[in-house]
Amino acid sequence: LFVSTIEPRKNIPTLLRALRICCDRRPAAGYRLVLAGARGWLDEPILALIGELGLGDQVTRIGFVGGDDLRWLYAACRIYLNPSRYEGFGLPALEALACGAPAIVADTSSLPEVVGDAAWLAPPLDPAAWADLIEQLWHDEQTRAELRRRGPLQAARFSWHAAATQTLALYRQLAQR
């Protein structure tokens, strides 16, 4: 499962190339990728790559999903994937962990801090590395179960209340200067 706007900085081509590698290595494994998210800027080349790589039967685009449907997707997915080149925070990764999704995320920007030890990290521009991790986690039920256990614990470290409290404290500190 991938959740976010379909746009270049989200680095979906790396996922698509990794999926192609996985399907070529183990055609009978049943690899599938669900892209959940609204279309964004410069999305046409990204979506065209699905056909160019021959992944029309392995990739399902479902558009924007929110609320209970999104929580269900996170909870039901085998693996949540976020190869983003840059995230200011990485809310979808945090949401995925909160719902117990085993996750692989890019080892860039804020994502390693957000996921802590509750997800695996991969270099964002290395489809082969992503394929290796996807293949390993796809077939390792015990590790997926462990990541499902760790995810909600890590996600609980973050809250809107804590963010508001810290922001207010910073504003007060700056106002006193």
For residues 152-172, average pLDDT? 90
SS percent in the chain: helix, strand, coil, step 5: 55, 15, 35
Tens of pLDDT, residues 27-53: 999 999 999 999 999 999 999 999 999
What is the domain partition of the chain in residue ranges?
Answer: 2-176
pTM: 0.92
Cβ burial of 135 (10 Å; 0-12, 13-18, 19+) is middle
User: How far from 14 is each of 70, 73, 90, 94, 103, CA to CA, in Å?
Assistant: 23, 21, 18, 21, 16
pLDDT band per the 50, 70, 90 thresholds, residue 162 = confident
Read off the DSSP letter of residue 139.
T
What SS3 string covers 85-130? CCCCCCHHHHHHHHCCCCEEEECCCCHHHHHCCCCEEECCCCHHHH
Topology classification of domain 2-176:
Rossmann fold (3.40.50)
- 148 CA to centre of own chain: 14
| pLDDT at residue 160 in the model | 82
The tens digit of pLDDT for each residue in 60-73 reads 999 999 999 999 99
Query: Tokens at residue 32, please?
Result: 């599938």
